[in-house]
Amino acid sequence: MRSSLALVPDADDAFSASVTERLDAVESRMREVVATSDDMVRWTARHLLDAGGKRVRPLLTLLAGSFGDMSRDAVIDAAVLVELTHLATLYHDDVMDDAPTRRGARTAHEVWSNSVAILTGDFLFARASALSSALGPEAVIIHAETFERLCLGQLHETVGPSPEDDPFAHYLSVLADKTASLIASAGRLGALQAGCEPAVADVFARYGEKVGVAFQLADDVLDLRSDPETSGKTPGTDLKEGVPTMPTLLVRRRAASPEADPRTARLVSLLDAARDGGPALDRALALLREDEAVEETAAMARTLGAEAVAILEELPDAPGRAALIDVTHALTDRAA
């Protein structure tokens, strides 16, 4: 399935066609890499793969590769590597969040079991690791470091901030590790495997760290505002699990102020009760959707997106840069 976002500029038809062709190659290659003779894993490993998705990370890998030789097979494998790693984390995340749906389909743990979903994620990590070894020692190191950050981000989110930690700094560090690390690696691997100079790969690493956090902040907003029929997500999952998001952190900070209004205090009370689900969760969602904290979060996403675009200005003026700017706006403005 091709990216569902119109991210490649229409002005350069040849470039758009080449990226589309390579995205199709990534999709085919992913199915080759996860293929197995094991009857069980054959179905579980393709469960989320067949559900589709935006394929943001492979697209960023290819666009980074366009600053070198995007036609190299290694660029395709780098794109497959980052997407399989992403899919593996989704299997694990859905178990930890007890999410019933993902991309409009029942989650793997709902179809089979928690253990099957976790082990399927591990299987995909293994196949991604095999790809990294084929790409060379530098790719192995990048992938291992990213995998470490993904685990640390999930661990820190699960445990939460310590009493002496600033909750906002803690949350942003979780987003950097859980989301931005893999997006940064996608661009970095794409550039390196395309033969770009290390300085170009460094631009993509810095860009990915910015746009990855912006992407997740926008996702915090989208989770509250989106229609589950079109987004494939269940609104309020984080609220029910008691997982902090930027809007809820902003509301709680406002509630701690001496000038806090009764509406904010009521919203905090509902947020605390939302873990029980039912009417409390529905009321908390309805009230939070209309709170100023949601727009504040969207504004943060747009600011970080602008900073990411500024980093892209260090790249040569090329169709790939124009496409990346379009990608950035699509990722960070989607919750507007």
Instruction: Tell me the pLDDT of the chain averaged across its residues.
Output: 86
Q: With helix as H, strand as E and coil as C, how does 183-240 read?
A: HHHHHHHHHHHCCCCHHHHHHHHHHHHHHHHHHHHHHHHHHHHCCHHHHCCCCCHHHH
Q: How far is the C-alpha of 108 from the C-alpha of 293, rounded, in Å?
A: 33
Q: Could you read off the pLDDT of 4-59 as tens digits, one per residue?
A: 444 554 546 889 899 999 999 999 998 888 887 666 666 676 666 667 678 999 99
Joined tokens for residue 313: 């200005």
At residue 257 the predicted structure's pLDDT band, cuts being 50, 70 and 90, is confident
Task: Choose between 36 and 79: higher pLDDT.
Answer: 79
Q: Could you read off the pLDDT of 272-329 as tens digits, one per residue?
A: 888 777 888 889 999 999 999 999 999 999 999 999 999 999 999 999 999 999 999 9
Give the model's pLDDT for residue 9.
47
Give the model's pLDDT for residue 224.
85
Give the model's pLDDT for residue 2.
42
String of DSSP letters for 102-141: ETTEE-HHHHS-HHHHHHHHHHHHHHHHHHHHHH-HHHHH
The phi and psi torsions of 102 (rounded to 5 degrees) equal: -150, 125
What is the CB neighbour count within 10 angstroms for residue 200?
21
Nearest to 173 by CA among 160, 184, 185, 163: 160
Cβ within 8 Å of residue 271, ≥6 positions away: 239, 248, 251, 252, 284, 288
String of DSSP letters for 33-62: HH--S-HHHHHHTTHHHHT----HHHHHHH
Q: Could you read off the pLDDT of 93-135 as tens digits, one per residue?
A: 766 665 665 655 666 565 556 777 788 888 899 999 999 999 9
**pTM of the full predicted structure?**
0.89
Q: What percentage of residues in the chain have a pLDDT greater than 90? A: 59
